[in-house]
C-alpha cells in the first residue's frame, strides 16, 4: 500500500520502535509503581526515562510536568476540563479539531463559559485577532499549532506573548506539529502543550502527553490508583500522579520513547522538509490541472506535511478516497477530518476534501503514482 495518511497515524514506524515494543512486551510488561519486584521497577523506569526524553526534546521545566495520556484528545480534555471554571471566557479558532471544539462548545451550550471562535484567513490566524477577542474574563486561549486539514502552522509565539500579557493561560494542540516543528517550552509562552504519540513522534496508538507548565494547575478529572500513594482518600496533588489515575500504557510509552529518540537523532526539520517537498509536487500539479485546487494558502516555510485538495465538481471526496483505496491501494483521508468549522469557512462542508499526508518513508515515486491515479479517476469527469 502507498500510505499517505500520516496526519492521522504515522505508518510505518521506525524499526527501532518495533524493536522496543517487542523487547518491552517480552521482558518488562508489569504494572509500574504498583509493586516492589524487578519487573514493576523496570516498568516505572521506562515511564521516567520517557519523561526525561520529552523534557529534553521540548525543553520543559521538569519531568514531573509530563503527564502520560491515551492520545491528544485525552490530553486536551484533561487541560480544558481541569482548568475552566463557571463564568470563564475562552478563545479558540475555526481551525480546531473536534478535540478542542467539542468540549468547549458543550461547556458553552451548558452556560458554563462564554466562547469566542476567531476566524482564520486562508488558514492562518492573525495574532491581533486574538488580542481583540480578549476580555477581563478570558481565562484560557486554546489553539492548534498546525491545522490538521490545511497543514498551516500558526504564529503561536506571537499569540502566546499576547495571551501571557493578558494574564490568561495558553493551551496549544500540537497534534500535527510535535516532531515536525521545533517547540522550546523554556523560551515560549505555552502554558499547556497537548499532543499524541502516534503521529510525528512515531509511537504506537494509545499514547500521548500533556505538558503542564508552572502557571497552570489543572484539577484531576480522572481519579483512581496512582501506584505510589495508596493511602490518600482523594487523588494526590503531586504531579504527574494527580493527572495520571489508573494503569498507564507503559508498553506504548516504551515505543514512544524509541520514536522520540529516532526523531531527536534525525532532527525535526529533516522530516518536515521532506514532506513539504513532496507536497510541492502536489501543489504544482493542482495548479496545472483544471478543476483541482488546494485548500488554504500554500507557504512552504510555514507548512507541515498535510494538504487538502478541493475535488472537481461531479465526484465526491468519499468516492475518490474509496477508489484510491480499492483500485490503487493508496490510503488518503477524505471528508471533514473532525474539523467542521474550517470546512464551513472554506465552503467544503459537508463533503469536505481529500487530505494527503506523506511521512518520512514516503517517496517521490509514490506521489507520482498518487497523482496519476487522480488523473485516471477524474478523466471522465473533467
- Do the Cβ atoms of 333 and 7 come closer than 8 Å? yes
For residue 236, what pLDDT is reported? 85
Residue 8 counted as domain residue: no
Residue where a domain terminates, one of 213, 246, 266: 266
pLDDT of residue 221: 82
Out of 197, 232, 266, pick the residue that ends a domain.
266
- Residue 6, domain member (yes or no): no
Residue ending a domain, choose from 241, 266, 291: 266
Q: What percent of the chain has pLDDT over 90?
A: 91
* 296 to 104, 200, 224, 271: CA distances (angstroms): 25, 22, 44, 22
Q: Is beta strand 307-310 parallel, antiparallel or unpaired with respect to 353-356? A: antiparallel
Output the average pLDDT for the chain.
Answer: 96
pLDDT in tens, 336-368: 999 999 999 999 999 999 999 999 999 999 999
- Average pLDDT, stretch 40-65? 96
CA–CA distance, 149 with 357 (Å, rounded to integer): 10
Selection from 340, 324, 331 nearest residue 362 by Cα: 331
- Residue 315 belongs to a domain: yes
pTM of the predicted model, to two decimals? 0.96
Same domain, residue pair 317 and 253: no
Residues 255, 157 within the same domain: yes
Alpha-carbon distances, residue 122 vs 177, 191, 325, 343 (angstroms): 19, 27, 29, 12
Same structural domain, 228 and 315: no
- What domain range is 357 assigned to? 268-377
Instruction: Report the pLDDT averaged over residues 220-236.
Output: 81
What's the rounded Cα separation, in Å, for the pair 145 and 199? Answer: 14
Would 7 be classed as within a structural domain?
no
Q: Per the domain annotation, does 2 fall within a domain? A: no
User: What pLDDT, on a 0 to 100 scale, did the predictor assign at position 227?
Assistant: 67
CATH of the domain at 238: 3.40.640.10
Residue 87 sits in the same domain as residue 213: yes
Note whether 50 and 112 are same-domain residues.
Answer: yes
Amino acid at each position: 500500500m502507498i500510505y499517505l495518511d500520516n496526519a492521522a497515524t504515522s505508518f510505518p514506524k521506525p524499526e527501532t520502535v518495533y524493536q522496543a515494543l517487542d523487547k518491552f512486551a517480552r521482558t518488562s510488561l508489569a504494572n509500574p509503581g504498583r509493586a516492589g519486584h524487578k519487573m514493576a521497577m523496570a516498568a516505572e523506569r521506562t515511564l521516567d526515562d520517557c519523561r526525561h526524553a520529552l523534557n529534553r526534546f521540548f525543553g520543559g521545566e521538569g519531568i514531573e510536568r509530563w503527564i502520560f495520556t491515551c492520545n491528544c484528545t485525552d490530553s486536551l480534555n484533561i487541560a480544558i476540563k481541569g482548568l475552566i471554571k463557571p463564568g470563564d471566557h475562552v478563545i479558540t479558532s475555526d481551525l480546531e479539531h473536534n478535540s478542542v471544539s467539542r468540549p468547549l462548545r458543550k461547556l458553552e451550550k451548558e452556560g458554563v463559559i462564554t466562547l469566542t471562535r476567531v476566524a482564520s484567513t486562508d488558514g492562518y490566524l492573525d495574532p491581533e485577532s486574538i488580542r481583540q477577542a480578549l476580555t477581563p474574563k478570558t481565562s484560557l486561549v486554546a489553539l492548534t499549532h498546525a491545522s490538521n486539514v490545511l497543514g498551516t502552522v500558526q504564529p503561536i509565539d506571537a499569540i502566546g506573548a499576547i495571551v501571557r500579557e493578558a494574564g490568561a493561560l495558553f493551551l496549544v494542540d500540537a497534534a500535527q506539529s510535535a516532531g515536525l516543528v521545533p517547540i522550546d517550552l523554556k523560551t515560549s509562552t505555552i502554558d499547556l502543550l497537548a499532543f499524541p504519540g502516534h503521529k510525528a513522534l512515531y509511537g504506537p496508538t494509545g499514547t500521548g502527553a500533556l505538558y503542564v507548565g508552572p502557571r497552570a494547575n489543572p484539577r484531576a478529572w480522572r481519579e483512581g490508583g496512582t501506584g505510589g500513594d495508596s493511602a490518600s482518600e482523594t487523588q494526590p496533588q503531586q504531579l504527574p500522579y494527580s493527572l495520571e489515575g489508573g494503569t498507564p500504557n507503559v508498553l506504548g510509552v516504551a515505543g514512544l520513547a524509541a520514536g522520540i529518540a529516532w526523531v531527536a537523532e534525525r532532527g525535526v526539520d529533516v522530516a518536515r522538509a521532506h514532506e513539504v517537498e513532496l507536497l510541492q509536487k502536489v501543489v504544482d500539479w493542482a495548479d496545472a490541472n483544471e478543476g483541482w485546487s488546494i485548500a488554504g494558502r500554500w507557504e512552504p516555510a510555514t507548512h507541515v506535511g498535510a494538504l487538502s485538495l478541493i475535488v472537481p465538481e461531479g465526484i465526491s471526496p468519499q468516492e475518490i478516497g474509496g477508489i484510491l483505496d480499492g483500485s490503487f491501494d493508496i490510503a488518503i483521508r477524505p471528508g471533514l477530518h473532525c474539523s467542521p468549522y474550517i470546512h464551513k469557512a472554506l465552503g467544503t462542508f459537508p463533503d469536505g476534501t481529500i487530505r494527503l499526508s506523506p511521512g518520512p518513508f514516503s517517496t517521490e515515486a509514490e506521489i507520482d503514482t498518487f497523482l496519476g491515479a487522480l488523473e485516471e479517476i477524474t478523466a471522465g469527469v473533467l
